[in-house]
C-alpha cells in the first residue's frame, strides 16, 4: 500500500483481511496454529517452510578502509518489527585476534554464527601449529556458510561486514556477505539502509580523496554517516559502537552517540504539527 | 615418561618429559602437552592423542549445549567415564595412559589427574609416569600458595630434570605449558625466552644436585 497522509485511505487497523499494519500479506506468513486458515495459492504451499522472515533485527552496518586498517560501526538497537525492543545489543563481534564482524538482520542467526565461529577458532587454536585464522580466512568461511544455507533454502537472515588486517602481511580485508551468499569487497561498505544512504557519503569522504583518511578523520567520517543514518532510518538508534582493526589487533569501542538537531522537523509536512 | 602439574594462585603449569625415540626427531614436534579447548590442556602419553581428540569433542559438546567453557571437573568426569568404559569389555584394552589436565575458569586455576581406570582426582600439584614418587616428594616441598606462575615454571623444569638420570635414561625434550594470568588465561606453551631460561635453570640445578650426592 502506498504511503499517504490521507487517513481515510488507510483502512481500518488490523481488520483488512489479508493485510498487516504495514500492508504486508499475512497469508504468506507462518503463524502458529493458523495453518488451516492459510489460503493456498500455489502447488508448493504445503511444502516444508524454512525461515521466511527475520524476527528480531539489527539495522545497517558500515565499514571503511583507512590508513592503519579497517573501521566498522553499528548501532546498539535490536528491533522487533518496528518496536525498538533491545537498546543495548552489541552487533560488532570480534573473531580471533585481528577480525571483527558486524551483523545486520536477524539477531538470533547472528548469535548462531558467533557460536559457529567460536568453535572454528578453538578448533584451530588446538592444532597449535603456529597458524591462526586471519580476516581473509574467516570471510571465506562465512561466505561459504551463507551460500550453503541459502542453497538449502534455509538462509541465515543476515548481511555481514567482515573487517580485519592480516597480522603477518598487514593486508587489510573489508568485505560483505549476505543471506543470498552474495559477496563483494570494497574500500567502503554499508548494508541495507546504509548501502543507499551512507555509501554515497562514504565514497565521497573516503574514496574521492588523494590519501586514505587517518584514524581521527576516519572516526569523523563514521560519525557523520551514523548521524545521517539515525536521521533517515526509522529503525536506528543514536547509540553505536565503533570497531577498529589494525596490524596491532582489534578493538571495539564503548557505546557513543552524536549531537543531533531536530528543529527542522516542525517544518516538514506530514511530520510536524500541521493539521492540513 | 613423566608429566607434572603445579597449581599456584594465578594459574597452572604443566611440564612433560618427552623421551626422544630418535635423534632425528625435529625439536618441538610430537608434543605431549596438547590443548583441548581455549581453557583446558592435557599432559599425555601413548594413547594420549586419541584422548585429546575425545577431550576436544567433549569440550565442544559442552559448549554447544551450554554456551560456556566446560568446568574441568566435568571434563575429568566425562573423560573418566570414557576411560572406564575401556576397562569393562573383553574386546578392548584399557588406555595405557595417566592424564594430567588443567584449566583456568571463573573459579580460578584447576588441576586434575585421571587414571587409566577412570578414577580422577583434583590436585594442588601432581606427577604421573615414570619417577612420579620422587617428583611428588619434590612437589610436596614447594610452597604452592606463594609461587608466581613464572617461579612455578622454573620449579617444574627443575623437577623434570632432577628425576631424569642421564646415565641410565634416554635423552629427552622438556615441554612446558601454562594457563592463567601470565598467558591471558589461554593454554599455551611458555614463550621461547622463558622456556630457555627455565630449561637451563632446571638442568644446572639437577646437575649440582647430583654433584652433591
- Which residue of A128, A129, A132, A133 to mutate against B (max B Cβ within 10 Å)? A128
What is the SS3 assignment for chain B? CEEEEEEECCEEEEEEEEECCCCCCCCCCCCCEEECCCCEEEECCCCHHHHHHHHHHHHHHHHHHHCCCCCHHHHHHHHHHHHHHCCCCCCCCCCCCCEEEEEEECCEEEEEEECCCCCEEECCEEEEECCHHHHHHHHHHCCCCCCCHHHHHHHHHHHHHHHCCCCCCCCEEEEEEEEEHHHCCCCEECCHHHHHHHHHHHHHHHHHHHHHC
The count of structural domains within chain B is 1
**A166 lies in some domain:** yes
pLDDT band at A179 (very low <50, low <70, confident <90, very high): very high
B36:A128 CB<8 A: no
ipTM: 0.86
The count of structural domains within chain A is 1
A51 catalytically annotated: yes
User: Span A56-84, mean pLDDT?
Assistant: 96
Q: In A134-213, where does DSSP find H-type helix?
A: 135-151, 193-202
Q: What pLDDT is stored for residue A1 in this prediction?
A: 46
CA gap B88, B192 in Å, rounded: 43
Contact present, B8 and B37 (Cβ < 8 Å)? no
A122:B59 CB<8 A: yes
pLDDT band at A30 (very low <50, low <70, confident <90, very high): low
**A267 lies in some domain:** no
Question: Which three three-digit cell numbers place residue B202?
Answer: 632446571
Return the percentage of chain B with pLDDT > 90, whole number: 68
What CATH number should be reported for the domain holding residue B161? 3.60.20.10
**A101 lies in some domain:** yes
What CATH number should be reported for the domain holding residue A84? 3.60.20.10
User: Span A89-118, mean pLDDT?
Assistant: 97
Q: Can you give the residue range of the structural domain that contains A142?
A: 56-252
Three-class DSSP category at A258: coil
**A43 lies in some domain:** no
**A276 lies in some domain:** no
Catalytic choice (A4, A15, A27, A51) = A51
**A37 lies in some domain:** no
Size of interface A-B (CB pairs under 8 A): 26
Q: What pLDDT is stored for residue B35 in this prediction?
A: 85
- Give the residue ranges of chain B where pLDDT is below 70: 38-46, 213
Q: Can you give the residue range of the structural domain that contains B47?
A: 2-212
In angstroms, the separation between the Cα of residue A123 and the nearest Cα of chain B is 8
The answer to which of A15-19, A210-214, A257-261 has the lowest mean pLDDT is A15-19
pLDDT band at A270 (very low <50, low <70, confident <90, very high): confident
Nearest to B27 by CA among B208, B211, B171, B194: B171
**A86 lies in some domain:** yes
**A227 lies in some domain:** yes
Q: What is the model's pTM?
A: 0.82
pLDDT band at A275 (very low <50, low <70, confident <90, very high): low
Return the percentage of chain A with pLDDT > 90, whole number: 73
pLDDT band at A67 (very low <50, low <70, confident <90, very high): very high
Three-class DSSP category at A266: helix
Amino acid at each position: 500500500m502506498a504511503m499517504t497522509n490521507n487517513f481515510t485511505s488507510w483502512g481500518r487497523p488490523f481488520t483488512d483481511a489479508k493485510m498487516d499494519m504495514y500492508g504486508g500479506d499475512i497469508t504468506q506468513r507462518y503463524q502458529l496454529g493458523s495453518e488451516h486458515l492459510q489460503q493456498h495459492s500455489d502447488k508448493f504451499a504445503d511444502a516444508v517452510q524454512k525461515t521466511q522472515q527475520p524476527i528480531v533485527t539489527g539495522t545497517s552496518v558500515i565499514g571503511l578502509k583507512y590508513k592503519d586498517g579497517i573501521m566498522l560501526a553499528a548501532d546498539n538497537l535490536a528491533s522487533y518489527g518496528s518496536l525498538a525492543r533491545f537498546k543495548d545489543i552489541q552487533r560488532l563481534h570480534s573473531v580471533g585476534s585481528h577480525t571483527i564482524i558486524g551483523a545486520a538482520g536477524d539477531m538470533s542467526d547472528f548469535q548462531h554464527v558467533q557460536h559457529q565461529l567460536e568453535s572454528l577458532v578453538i578448533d584451530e587454536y588446538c592444532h597449535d601449529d603456529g597458524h591462526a585464522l586471519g580476516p581473509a580466512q574467516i570471510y571465506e568461511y562465512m561466505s561459504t556458510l551463507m551460500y550453503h544455507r541459502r542453497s538449502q533454502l534455509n538462509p541465515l537472515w543476515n548481511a555481514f561486514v567482515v573487517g580485519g588486517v592480516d597480522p603477518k602481511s598487514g593486508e587489510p580485508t573489508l568485505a560483505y556477505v549476505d543471506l543470498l551468499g552474495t559477496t563483494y569487497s570494497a574500500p567502503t561498505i554499508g548494508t541495507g539502509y546504509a548501502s543507499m544512504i551512507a555509501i554515497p557519503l562514504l565514497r565521497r569522504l573516503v574514496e574521492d580523496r588523494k590519501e586514505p583518511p587517518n584514524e581521527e578523520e576516519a572516526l569523523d567520517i563514521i560519525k557523520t554517516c551514523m548521524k545521517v543514518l539515525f536521521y533517515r532510518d526509522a529503525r536506528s538508534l543514536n547509540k553505536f559502537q565503533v570497531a577498529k582493526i589494525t596490524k596491532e589487533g582489534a578493538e571495539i569501542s564503548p557505546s557513543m552517540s552524536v549531537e543531533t538537531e531536530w528543529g527542522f522537523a516542525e517544518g516538514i509536512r506530514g511530520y510536524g504539527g500541521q493539521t492540513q | 615418561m613423566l608429566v607434572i602439574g603445579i597449581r599456584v594462585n594465578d594459574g597452572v603449569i604443566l611440564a612433560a618429559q618427552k623421551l626422544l625415540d630418535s635423534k632425528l626427531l625435529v625439536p618441538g614436534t610430537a608434543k605431549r602437552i596438547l590443548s583441548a579447548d581455549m581453557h583446558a590442556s592435557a599432559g599425555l602419553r601413548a594413547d594420549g592423542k586419541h584422548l585429546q581428540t575425545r577431550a576436544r569433542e567433549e569440550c565442544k559438546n559442552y559448549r554447544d549445549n551450554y554456551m560456556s567453557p566446560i568446568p574441568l571437573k566435568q571434563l575429568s568426569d566425562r573423560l573418566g567415564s570414557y576411560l572406564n568404559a575401556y576397562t569393562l569389555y573383553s574386546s578392548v584394552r584399557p588406555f595405557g595412559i595417566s592424564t594430567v589436565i588443567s584449566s583456568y575458569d571463573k573459579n580460578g586455576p584447576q588441576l586434575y589427574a585421571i587414571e587409566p581406570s577412570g578414577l580422577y582426582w583434583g590436585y594442588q600439584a601432581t606427577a604421573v609416569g615414570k619417577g612420579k614418587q620422587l617428583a611428588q616428594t619434590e612437589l610436596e616441598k614447594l610452597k604452592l600458595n606463594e609461587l608466581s606462575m613464572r617461579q612455578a615454571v622454573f620449579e617444574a623444569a627443575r623437577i623434570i630434570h632432577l628425576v631424569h638420570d642421564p646415565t641410565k635414561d634416554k635423552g629427552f625434550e622438556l615441554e612446558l605449558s601454562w594457563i592463567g594470568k601470565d598467558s591471558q588465561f589461554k593454554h599455551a606453551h611458555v614463550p621461547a625466552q622463558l622456556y630457555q631460561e627455565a630449561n637451563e635453570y632446571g638442568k644446572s640445578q639437577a646437575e649440582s644436585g647430583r654433584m652433591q650426592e
